Amino acid sequence: MNKGIVQINFTIGFGNNLFQYACGRLFAEKNGLKLLHRAIPELGIPEQTAFANRQLPVFHINDSNYKQCLSSNINLEQNFVINGYFEDYKLIKPYLDEIRTWYTPSEITNKKDVILHLRLQNRLIQESHHKNHITADSIKEVLNKMSFERLHIVTDAEKWEPYTISDIKKIQDQIRVGPNRTAPWVSTEQSLEYMNHLVEELTPLDPIIHCNGAEMMGGTGGLRGSFIDDFNLLRSFDKVIVHNSTFSWWAATLSGASQVAIFNPWKIAKPPSHRRNLGETNFDGWFPWGGADALYFKKYGIIS
């Protein structure tokens, strides 16, 4: 048999890439196919090269057909292109222990505190992300359900203090040269109000703040140069609060943290059937949060 190969086309977004890698590798290993993809050096995944017979037909594996491709026999005399987002915890769950062995391990060293990941940057200004914002009340609500000594907040914000219009415009200038430059934005005033809402309401909780001040990486949606430090910091905690970020979802998934609060409304989508199911993740020790924000999401028809 003249087998094809599996080529993974990574998109922007570190968390997105991990879903794409998982889907591609699981499919390739199931069918004994070689992989072709760039490296993910931050997690010890080397580049894979493979010769592709260009005379073979090409089959695209995407969000709509990958479950069928994984579960059934398929003609292997074709090249397969992994081209989607695959944000489905049900795909990962049966292979969770195996997937964790693929990556450079990171030891859990903090079992007494809790860490919250706040991804900001483009989510402060981009309309589609801004609709999914979390309120300080919702964060306080989930904190009341957890037992811990100190709250840690890890964020891609450059500082944790009241922002000014100039601070927001700096972020706009950074995003303007990235892949989200043409996406609709909210007003500068809305972005400013939301950022300062988080700072003003959460600072009295006396959190330990971990700000990432590295330069934003070109061609990303707001990822900073030292992002892997934030990722590994999240992996070092046994208690994690995940918003609608595949970045922190993967950090908590790979670490095996014993207590993970997952933002249940996850992300607004139109139509609602396009909503990702990551907010329903039910790995051992995971539980939902976001009740205060559910009221906000109802008007978009995402939850009843």
Segment 41-92, tens digit of pLDDT: 999 999 999 999 999 999 999 999 999 999 889 999 999 999 999 999 999 9
Tokens 């999914």 locate to 132
From the centroid of its chain, how far is CA 39? 18
Measured CA to CA in angstroms, residue 135 lies from 42, 67, 263 at distances of 32, 35, 12
Nearest to 264 by CA among 142, 163, 181: 142
Residue 215 in contact with residue 225, Cβ under 8 Å?
A: yes
Cα–Cα distance for residue pair 222/155, rounded to 1 Å? 11
The region that residue 150 occupies, defined by phi over 0 for left and psi between -120 and 50 for alpha, beta otherwise, is: beta
Examine the pLDDT at 299 and tell me if it is beyond 70.
no
55 contacts: CB under 8 Å, gap ≥ 6: none
The pLDDT of residue 303: 46
Instruction: Provide the whole-model pTM.
Output: 0.91
Residue of 271 and 227 predicted with greater confidence: 227
Q: Where are the domains of the chain?
A: 5-100, 114-298
Q: What is the pLDDT of residues 214-256, one digit of tens each?
A: 887 776 767 888 899 999 999 999 999 998 899 999 999 999 9
* Residue 76 phi, psi dihedral angles, 5° rounding: -90, 0
Examine the pLDDT at 295 and tell me if it is beyond 50.
yes
**Which range among 78-87, 105-114, 262-271 shows the weakest confidence by mean pLDDT?**
262-271
The pLDDT of residue 74: 93
* Residue 301 phi, psi dihedral angles, 5° rounding: 75, 20
The pLDDT of residue 304: 46
DSSP state of 183: S
Residue 251 in contact with residue 219, Cβ under 8 Å?
A: no
Cα–Cα distance for residue pair 168/162, rounded to 1 Å? 11
Q: What is the pLDDT of residues 145-203, one digit of tens each?
A: 999 999 999 999 989 999 999 999 998 888 877 666 677 888 999 999 999 999 999 99
Nearest to 285 by CA among 152, 189, 146: 146
ω into residue 271 within 30 of 0, thus cis?
yes
CB atoms within 10 A of CB 290: 24
Examine the pLDDT at 297 and tell me if it is beyond 80.
no
Q: Let me know how long the chain is.
A: 304
Per the DSSP assignment, residues forming a β-bridge with 37 are 48
The pLDDT of residue 185: 86
Examine the pLDDT at 210 and tell me if it is beyond 80.
yes
The pLDDT of residue 132: 66
